Amino acid sequence: MTQIYEQHLWGGKSFDFYSGEGSHDSKIVVPYLEAITTFFKSHNNTLTVCDLGCGDFNIGKQLFKYTLKYDAVDIVERLIERNKITFKEDHLQFHCLDIAKDQLPVADCVIIRQVLQHLSNAEINSVVKKLSDYKYIIITEHIPNEDFIPNKDIISGQGIRLKYKSGVDLLKAPFNLEVTEQSILHTYVLEGNKGLILTTLYTL
């Protein structure tokens, strides 16, 4: 991930760090933010939230004010150090962690936005085992906009499963996440048959 940011493989060469169009394109970002803030407000802004894969924090900076406490996590050390300097609030903390290996911050709700799609099944499984610690899980994934075979394995990195006509579905094998309730918070269909971005709320 450090190399991706250093070489601007997700674009944004005029930025020091850039987490891709999915974090900056207003057509994607604005309705996503509306959906998440509505959920946070429905809990009177009292939720503690853990953001796994916070990236350049263009999304998180617009969410944390609706929470009681916001822990933002990323694996890229220089990115986290930059975020600590750039974004400062009493109830906001940044952590440099490997979400597949390290212990994660305690919270009511976890946000994982277009992160799992870049990980191998083994790493996703490691993350899934920790999700039972949270009451609410908000997952955003870039998936095909047609029937597909879920969870084809990949090597962790810049790419995602879309080119293999697959996508991450935590409720299916080999992850089999057990939830009590699920609801779709937001769907954005990309132009040119490039799939869709799906945000789902799971309640454990």
How much is the pTM?
A: 0.91
Region 99-111: mean pLDDT is 97
Residue 138: pLDDT over 90? yes
Q: Give the pair of three-digit tokens for residue 15.
A: 């930025």
Q: Which residues contact 94 (CB under 8 A, 6 or more apart)?
A: 54, 71, 72, 73, 74, 80, 83, 84, 87
- Does domain 2-203 correspond to CATH entry 3.40.50.150? yes
pLDDT tens per residue across span 45-82: 999 999 999 989 999 999 999 999 999 999 999 999 99
pLDDT tens per residue across span 149-203: 999 999 998 889 999 999 999 999 999 999 999 999 999 999 888 999 999 999 9
Position 25 scores a pLDDT of: 81
What is residue 107's DSSP assignment?
Answer: -
Position 73 scores a pLDDT of: 97
Region 118-132: mean pLDDT is 97
